[in-house]
Amino acid sequence: MNPSFPRFRLTEDYTISRVLKGGWQLAGGHGPVNEPQAIEDMREFVEAGVTTFDCADIYTGVEALIGRFLKAYGGAMASGELPSVQIHTKCVPDLALLSRLTKGYTETLIDRSLRRLGVERLDLVQFYWWDFSIPGFLDLAGHLVDLQKAGKIRYLGVTNINGEQLRMLLDAGIPILSNQVQYSLLDRRPREDLLDLCQRNDIHLLCYGSVAGGFLTDRYLGAGEPMEPLENRSLTKYKLIIDEFGGWDLFQELLSSLRSIADRYGVGIGEVAVQYILQQPGVAGAIVGARNNRHLDGIRNLSNFALADEDLSRIEAILDRSQGPRGPVYGLESQKDGKHGRIMRYNLNQESMDPPDPSVLS
């Protein structure tokens, strides 16, 4: 393991790598996955110091894939040949079943994640509720607290939760360690209604989208604006964010500025984009959706430089001209009839190859 790769202490006895290996790109919608190679890639990431993996019950096949990695290399971790890993997953009940949610059904979701990963306790479970007009969000949180007390979950976090929703949880006494949100050069919504509340309550941000599905890389510098259909689900999602940001021309201006900053440090645009997020207040880690080890050299570079104040000021001068996105975290995505909401898939648990048993629903 690379001992110099940066880590963050979430609690007195729990640290994570500041870059987390994202799992969404290994799910359906991003092209075929070579499973043996994906498992070997995971080993290479761990050896490099990226020991924290992010996945979800609704990322098709990803928990099981990580479980096979843990089975293959569990002995090496136990002996100290490889460092231990931290697995962050999610509990996201299907939209169609929210009105019928029971504690028994929540437990089937958690038990399935335990079974897929092949572990006795989940390190961090991040939960979400698709529609806050449907009662039951705090009930779900209570179910998970009970499962935490039963020893099935170590820590609880949330994902895509805005300030108002987080206050509901805090007022109910739910112990929240982290909030996984979209936060990038193109999307600074966490600053609007969330960051101050998180900092006052020692809740750490785990940030996805820091390279906008690959848009914030050298590949797109000087490129023409892509048209539909785009290559994968990530690009479809983040092209909408670029439109909100101010369009392709302003985006190209940002990339050009990032390239000149990157030249100072001998790195790529993507590394500058991730480093920018890592240097923001309240941020514990950035989730990078690396499908394979081709991204590993760039991730290693993150431990070798930090953006100077003049770099940050130059970046902020462009960002201050952006048009958006505006509003609370995940607000645009929550509008199911809007262009951001229409690309979402809301019932992936029941659509999976091993759907949880619906007999325990009310």
How much is the pLDDT for 141?
A: 98
pTM (2 decimals)? 0.97
The position carrying tokens 């990695």 is: 69
pLDDT exceeds cutoff 70 at 173:
yes
pLDDT exceeds cutoff 70 at 42:
yes
- Mean pLDDT for the chain? 95
How much is the pLDDT for 101?
A: 97
Would you place residue 1 in the very low, low, confident or very high pLDDT band (cuts 50, 70, 90)? low
How much is the pLDDT for 4?
A: 75
Per-residue model confidence as pLDDT tens digits over 145-165: 999 999 999 999 999 999 999
| Count of all residues that appear for the chain in the document | 362
Residue 85 · residue 77 · CB < 8 Å = yes
How much is the pLDDT for 79?
A: 97
Mean pLDDT of the 6-25 span: 96
DSSP state for residue 308 in the 8-state scheme: -
Candidates 16, 4, 14, 3; CA nearest to 207 is: 16
CA distance 44 to 86: 15
How much is the pLDDT for 296?
A: 92
Query: Measured at the alpha carbon of residue 334, what is the angle toward residues 236 and 228, in degrees to the nearest 5?
Result: 15
Q: Which residues contact 17 (CB under 8 A, 6 or more apart)?
A: 5, 6, 7, 8, 49, 50, 51, 52, 86, 285
How much is the pLDDT for 228?
A: 87
How much is the pLDDT for 7?
A: 97
How much is the pLDDT for 29?
A: 67
Mean pLDDT of the 217-241 span: 94
Mean pLDDT of the 177-199 span: 97
Per-residue model confidence as pLDDT tens digits over 302-312: 999 999 999 99
Burial class of residue 106, CB neighbours in 10 A (0-12, 13-18, 19+): buried
Which one has a higher pLDDT value, 232 or 264? 264
Helices of type H across 80-126: 103-117
Residue 62 · residue 55 · CB < 8 Å = yes
How much is the pLDDT for 293?
A: 80
- φ/ψ of 61, rounded to 5, equals 80, -5
Mean pLDDT of the 192-219 span: 97
Per-residue model confidence as pLDDT tens digits over 250-303: 999 999 999 999 999 999 999 999 999 999 999 999 999 876 788 899 999 999
CA distance 79 to 41: 20
First to last CA, the chain: 48
CA distance 360 to 110: 14
Would you place residue 65 in the very low, low, confident or very high pLDDT band (cuts 50, 70, 90)? very high
Q: Which residues contact 92 (CB under 8 A, 6 or more apart)?
A: 56, 57, 58, 127, 128, 130, 159, 348, 349
Residue 17 · residue 288 · CB < 8 Å = no
CA distance 57 to 79: 29
Residue ranges of domains in the chain, CATH in brackets: 7-360 (3.20.20.100)
Q: Which of the given ranges, 3-7, 294-298, 327-331, has the highest pLDDT on average? A: 327-331
Per-residue model confidence as pLDDT tens digits over 46-63: 999 999 999 999 999 999
Per-residue model confidence as pLDDT tens digits over 335-358: 999 999 999 999 999 888 789 888
